[in-house]
Amino acid sequence: MSYLLLPSFNSKTVPVIVITDVAQAVPMAHALLAGGIDVMEITLRHPAGLPAIEAVAKAVPEMVVGAGTVTTPEQVQQVVNAGATFALSPGMTPALIAAVKAAKLPFVPGVMTPGEAMVAHEHGFQLLKLFPAAQAGGLAMLKAMGGPLSELRFCPTGGVSLANMNEFLALPNVAMVGGSWLTPVDLVVQAASSSDWSSITKLAQQATDQAASSQQ
């Protein structure tokens, strides 16, 4: 698989997930699927991230599982070994780009400025992660970059929520949005302790319905 092409999924909302207990991973994946979300970005911000990716990749094949917060070349091979089908980063470095190209791992580099977006495009990337989106200028920045960099598409993350996601999705250069509001830590802990993941399914369904309304 080319590092330029993400695996196919339907959701316009990518949950950005910090898993602190591997046991949370598989039931969370099923809960998100029940709400219409078929993609997960499990970040490497916690040591449970890599085994959580592996658990979902093995147990829930219908879920497209990717690795987030990939910042070093060493992590690239680790997430490939864990079964991640794509990776995202808050930024990009020459060494990181070389590693994902060598691994042929589909990759979404993080950018915050037009210059960084142009560098990513020079390396062949057309889908970029605007991060942190709110601090980078949010909607105004994406609109401004849409003219001179019209060939690029973005996944804004950071400051995106259920309340404003449709404003982002309405922009022609926004392919999808990412956010942590779909799997808030307190709800995940509560769901895991009670074995009732309906609250996560409800949030996923709200996002799915909201995204669908933006396309009508």
151 within a domain of the structure (yes/no): yes
Catalytic-role residue among 12, 41, 74, 104 = 41
The CATH number of the domain holding residue 152 is 3.20.20.70
Q: What are phi and psi of 132, to 5 degrees?
A: -75, 125
SS3 content of the chain, % helix, strand, coil (to 5): 45, 15, 40
214 within a domain of the structure (yes/no): no
Band of residue 2 on the pLDDT scale cut at 50, 70, 90: confident
Token pair of 59, please?
A: 């147990």
pLDDT value, residue 214: 73
123 within a domain of the structure (yes/no): yes
215 within a domain of the structure (yes/no): no
pLDDT value, residue 67: 98
Q: Is the pLDDT of residue 1 over 80?
A: no
195 within a domain of the structure (yes/no): yes
* Distance between CA atoms of residues 19 and 23, nearest Å: 9
158 within a domain of the structure (yes/no): yes
pLDDT value, residue 186: 93
pLDDT value, residue 4: 81
Q: Find how far residue 208's CA is from the centre of its chain.
A: 15
**Residue ranges making up the domain that contains 91:** 13-206
Query: For residue 36, which of 56, 15, 21, 17 has the smallest C-alpha distance?
Result: 15
Q: Is the pLDDT of residue 131 over 60?
A: yes
31 within a domain of the structure (yes/no): yes
7 within a domain of the structure (yes/no): no
pLDDT value, residue 156: 98
**153-171: pLDDT as tens digits:** 999 999 999 999 999 999 9
pLDDT value, residue 195: 96
Query: For residue 89, which of 111, 112, 71 has the smallest C-alpha distance?
Result: 71
> What mean pLDDT do residues 117-142 have?
97
Q: Is the pLDDT of residue 148 over 60?
A: yes
Report the mean per-residue pLDDT for the chain.
96
* Total count of domains within the chain: 1
Catalytic-role residue among 129, 151, 167, 202 = 129
Task: Identify whether 41 is a catalytic site residue.
Answer: yes
Do residues 6 and 126 lie in contact, with contact meaning Cβ atoms separated by under 8 Å? no
Which residues have CB under 8 Å from 161's CB, separation 6+? 179, 181
* Distance between CA atoms of residues 86 and 108, nearest Å: 8
